[in-house]
Each structure stands twice: as C-alpha cells, then as structure tokens.
Structure 1
C-alpha cells in the first residue's frame, strides 16, 4: 500500500475511488499534486491505465 497523500492513504483499484472521494472531501491534503480538478483528472488517468493494463490477482493481463 502506498500513500498519495499524508492524510489519505490509497492503493490501486477500489482505492482509486476512495482517493477521488478524499480529494473532494479534503482538497488541501492533495494540494501538492495540483488543484482539485487536476488531481481528479490524474485519478481518472490512473483508472484508465489500471483498466487497460491491470489484471486480477493471478489472472491474465488485459
């Protein structure tokens, strides 16, 4: 597990949704990454990468 923000830990998959919610709830915790909208765009981009290149545990690559 890694932390994208000191106040809101996050890791891939479902945690991307938690990270997005955290950005909306506490944008100051994410300020070093940019504005609220910029950070939400980064989370969306990570989601697209995860969907395209991610894989289920023990499953084949997408």
Structure 2
C-alpha cells in the first residue's frame, strides 16, 4: 500500500500523477478544477502532447509496481 498525504489541489494540471483514494493512480492529460482529494506522486515535466499520446479514451495500466 502507498502512504497517503492527501490535499485538495483545486486545479489539476496536465501531467500530474496523483493517487486517488488508497489504490487508484491517475495521470491527468488535461488541466481542470477539482474538489477531490489526492496524494501527489509526481509530475511529467514536459506534458505537451500527452493527450495525443494517450488518446481520448480510457487507458489501462495492466500492472506496475512502485519501489522505494
């Protein structure tokens, strides 16, 4: 399980990599406002074209692991 340190960002930015809840990792490819709470995991430094690479539909990550 990933340790959480939740905050409400207000604005989510393209390239934000956030944890929603205890087990949902989300990579955002659009900037928008949100009232949800997240834990920051990281950020893509140059997210230009991210939406084009990921497409406009759902993207699934089959399996990955985070290590210390």
Q: TM-score, normalised by structure 1?
A: 0.27
Pick 1 or 2: higher relative contact order, CA cutoff 8 A, min separation 6. Answer: 2
With the length of structure 2 as denominator, give the TM-score of the two structures. 0.26
Answer 1 or 2: which has greater strand percent: 2
